Structure 1
Amino acid sequence: MYSTMGGQTGVTGTPQNPQPNPFGNTFYGAGSGLIRSGLEAYGERFLGSSSEFMQSNISRYFSNPQYYFQVNDQYVRNKLKVVLFPFLHRGHWTRITEPVGGRLSYKPPVYDINAPDLYIPLMAFGTYIILAGFSLGLMGRFSPEALSLQFTRGLVGWVLQVMLLKGLLYSLGSGEAPLFDIVAYGGYAYTGICIGVLARLCWSYSYYFAMPLMSLCMGVFLVKTMKRVLFSEMRNYEKRSSRQHYVLLFMALGQFPLFFWLGNLGL
């Protein structure tokens, strides 16, 4: 509604700044503060529990990658002897533990010959690819595509080995071993494969003696290692001993076709 009193035009209505309600602001501030504090407490509890859950499950299936590279020259020499010639290993196969943060933890490879590492498997895999390229060159079949195909073949073989070991543990009710441990155990196969390939480069007929021998040694090494893992994780170890023997025997026999498949370069 408009008025023209005094020659000025104005607008009549409610005032622009109404009086604040002290009680409403007080209740609103108190309520929002309670809600905010409650949400913060709930969020901290939720995030804390979820982080503990994630840490516990991650540490359950994975380990610190740096642990697997704590090696020295002496460890590498002794570990290669154990992997390539497990019959000559006269010591125990159990890992050494130490208290860390109120819990028992395994000592790193530099202090324990039975600890798994990723240094030897990665170096052996790299050596395998180099030998594959050298063998392809001697056969006159070297090309980037052929070397890439052999690299893919090697990775597939490693994955198959890991799946075999992991499936073995799950079939026997023990899937608690960290994944990096299984990857390390599966990668040790390339040490024996490199020996077989080198034997073939030196004398072609020696391949048919060296490769079965390396397959047998790798099978014995894995049987000894998997027995230790099963014994340390399974409470009903004695109840399933007969089944374990058959499964471990299947795992050992599976090394022969895997070794010959990866050792036949250029096919």
Structure 2
Amino acid sequence: MPQFGGFMNDPTAQMGLQMGQSAMKVGQEYVEQNFNRYINVSTLKHYFNVSNRYVLSKTVLVLFPWRHRPWSRSQTNTASPSHNGSTTTQFLPPREDVNSPDMYIPLMAFITYVLLTTLIAGLNGKFEPQLLGMTFSNASVVIILELLVLWLGRYFLNISSESQIYDLVAYSGYKFVGVIVTIAVAAIVNRGKGTGGWVGWTVFAYTFMANAFFLLRSLKYVLLPPDNSPSNPSMQTIARGQRSRRTQFLFVYSYVVQFAFMWWLTALNFTSGVPVVAGGKGIKGRWGR
């Protein structure tokens, strides 16, 4: 039997190995080109550039935003890629600025929400195999609907900056932090029997108001950026009518839209083990509210 080293030195084997490597390289380039057509990976990396300190500070900020100052994002000047001596203004990454939006916390909060709801159902002996998928689908529907709202807002508000769009997507996920707190506290007080009762409503009211206030302050610099902000690369002054529409959208999105989606996510009846639409029947029960 030929030795492994001899096999690798065989011209036919080497040719096959080279062809395989070439095919993998071509496939990787094809995937990257088509993926970058829809999502700018280099820009997306900015939103995952976080640290443990940032995650802790940002979570506290989302839950207790009342006395935070200032809300404006920090900027830095970097050399232009064209090497012509000019500089460009960019926002600092999340790990260096607590006011910078990220996608790490929203993603982890989304996963935690799915696991927490199924865990509570399991602790109450109501876990069913389809619960994990149904909870994931329930949260995904909320995200899709909210992205649709943001897409419509982008169209009607004439938001063309790529960074502004990613910022809106990032901010849309912070609601899961308040949702997790509401579900966890209500589960402890109500012994896993849903988020109803005065405790559940009180915690929900607080987390909703905190999230709305946080978004109202933070999104002001996304939808109404200063003339010299990286969110306004064209340096165009926003017209009065456009500014008024963006202000109205900011209020409706921060309060009305967030209330609807947070209520949807927290109004679960864990005694049934199945998330259902408010007022509708599940497999074994109804909503806790």
Is TM (by shorter chain) over 0.5?
yes
2:224/2:246 contact within 8 Å kept: no
Identify which range, 232-241 or 58-67, moves more after superposition: 58-67
Residue pair 1:61, 1:177 contacting (<8 A) in 2 also: no
Q: Any conservation in 1 of the 2:183–2:266 contact (CA below 8 Å)? A: yes
Contact 1:231-1:237 within 8 A present in 2 as well: no
The normalised TM-score by structure 2 is 0.65
Structure 2 portions without partners, runs of 5+:
1-32, 81-86, 191-196, 226-231, 269-274, 277-289
Match among 185, 188, 212 for residue 202 of structure 1: 188
Q: CA deviation at 1:207?
A: 1.3
Task: Provide the residue aligned with 1:159 in structure 2.
Answer: 144
The answer to whether the 8 Å contact 1:98/1:107 transfers is no
Q: Among residues 177, 183, 192, which one is paired with 1:191 in the alignment?
A: 177
Cα offsets for 1:31-84 (capped at 9, x unmatched):
xxxxxxxxxxxxxxxxxxxxxxx9xx9699775332222211221121112222
Structure 2: how far apart are the matches of 1:222 and 1:63?
A: 25
- CA displacement at 1:176 relative to structure 2: 1.8
Q: What per-residue deviation string (whole Å, max 9, x for no partner) do you get for residues 176-233 of structure 1?
A: 2434333221111111110111111111332111112211221222222221112223
Aligned to 2:167: 181
Match of 2:61 in 1: 82
State the alpha-carbon separation in 2 of the partners of residues 147 and 92 from structure 1.
37
Instruction: Please give the alpha-carbon distance, in whole angstroms, between the structure 1 residues aligned to 2:88 and 2:169.
Output: 24
Aligned residue in 2 for 1:109: 94
The 3-state SS of whatever aligns with 1:97 is strand
The 3-state SS of whatever aligns with 1:87 is: coil
| AA of the residue aligned to 2:238 | N
Q: 1:106 deviation in Å?
A: 1.8
What CA distance in whole angstroms lies between the structure 2 residues aligned with 1:59 and 1:235? 29
Q: Does 1:142 align with 2:142?
A: no
1:132 aligns with 117
Matched residue, 2:237: 235
Task: Report if aligned partners of 2:185, 2:200 keep a CA contact under 8 Å in 1.
Answer: yes
The residue identity in structure 2 corresponding to 1:261 is: W
CA-based RMSD of the aligned residues comes to 2.6
Separation (CA, whole Å) in 2 of partners of 1:213 and 1:202: 17
Q: Which amino acid aligns with 1:133?
A: T
Residues in 1 aligned to 2:101 and 2:94: alpha-carbon distance in whole angstroms: 7
Q: Secondary structure at the match of 1:88?
A: coil
Contact 2:146–2:172 (Cα < 8 Å) also in 1: yes
Please say which structure displays the higher CA radius of gyration: 1
Q: Is the 8 A contact 1:96 1:112 kept in 2?
A: no
Q: Paired residues, what number?
A: 212
More helix by share: 1
Give me the whole-angstrom Cα distance separating, in 2, the residues matched to 1:100 and 1:189.
36
Query: What does residue 5 of structure 1 align with?
Result: none
Which residue of the partner structure matches residue 286 of structure 2?
none
Q: 1:13-40: per-residue Cα shift (whole Å, max 9, x none)?
A: xxxxxxxxxxxxxxxxxxxxxxxxxxxx
Amino acid at match of 1:244: R
Q: Which of the numbers 108, 114, 129 marks the counterpart of 1:123?
A: 108
Q: Is 1:263 equivalent to 2:266 in the alignment?
A: yes
> Aligned pair in 2 of structure 1 residues 60, 107: CA closer, same or farther (>3 Å)?
farther
In 2, distance between residues paired with 1:71 and 1:245?
A: 30
How high is the TM-score relative to the length of structure 1? 0.70
Cα distance between partner residues in 2 of 1:200 and 1:154: 19
CA shift in 2, pair 1:123/1:113, >3 Å: same
Answer whether contact 2:115 2:132 (CA < 8 A) is retained: no
Q: Which amino acid aligns with 1:246?
A: Q
Residue 128 of structure 1, CA deviation: 0.6
The C-alpha deviation readout for 1:139-198, integer Å capped at 9, x for no partner, is: 443122111010111122122223323433432222324343332211111111101111
Identity %: 30
Q: Does the CA-based 8 Å contact 2:182-2:207 persist in structure 1? A: yes
| 220-229 or 143-152, which deviates more | 220-229
**Distance change (3 Å), C-alpha of 1:58 and 1:216:** farther
